[in-house]
Amino acid sequence: MSAIAAMLAPSREVWVRAALADVDTLLVDHAHCERKAAQTALAMVAKHPTWAALVGPLSRLAREELIHFERVLRELRHRGGRLRALPAAGYAAALQDAARATREPAGGADLRRAQLRDEMLVCALIEARSHERFVRLAAATDDARLAKLYRDLLAAEERHGDLYLGLAREAYEGDVTARLRALAAEEARVIARPGQAVRMHAGG
Ligand SMILES: [Fe+2]
Ligand SMILES: [Fe+2]
């Protein structure tokens, strides 16, 4: 188990059941998650073009996410569904807000290092949560084809989480374990916010 996975609160059984009760919506949301993961990675490349350890790996990550996006689209079509707009759950934005609100007070270079560290840790947690939920869905569904989809994708998401964690460590030039633990606690609160529709990263 990766360092991030060990810190994630397990998804609740009630979420797993609700997600599998509406596979069409779950897949539409999942497709958007893969697309957004590619966009986020490319936005990082645009923002940090001179960071050698980031540019190549995140370009590859973006390509991989688009392959995932197309795989989920095929699965959706196979089931008679199609891509449509879905209101965003606001999960990533809420995580970034939580990171900002809980960041240690600092100025100058220390603040920039802490911001960059948190930016990478938030991405690491999102990827790790995808991995955790794919594992849960693969185990819980009695649809062999759906289970295979999640099993085929989950290892990549774990790797992506570790990649972002490595970038957080490089950015911070120090130990990020305590901060990862604090942000994992925020993530557990954000993902279980009441009153949200069931999504890959919301609703339980
Ligand atoms: Fe992905
Ligand atoms: Fe990913």
At residue 3, the pLDDT reads 87
- Distance (angstroms) between ligand 2 centre and the Cα of 124 equals 9
The structure tokens listed for 13 are 């059984």
Q: How does pLDDT run across 129-170, given as a tens digit for each residue?
A: 999 999 999 999 999 999 999 999 999 999 999 999 999 999
Is residue 173 left, alpha or beta, with left meaning phi > 0 and alpha meaning psi from -120 to 50? left
- Report the predicted TM-score, pTM, of the whole model to 2 decimal places: 0.96
- Distance (angstroms) between ligand 1 centre and the Cα of 156 equals 7
Give me the mean pLDDT over the 52-79 stretch: 98
Alpha-carbon distance values, 107 to 56, 103, 110, 112, 172 (Å) = 30, 11, 6, 8, 14
At residue 1, the pLDDT reads 67
At residue 115, the pLDDT reads 96
- Distance (angstroms) between ligand 1 centre and the Cα of 107 equals 35
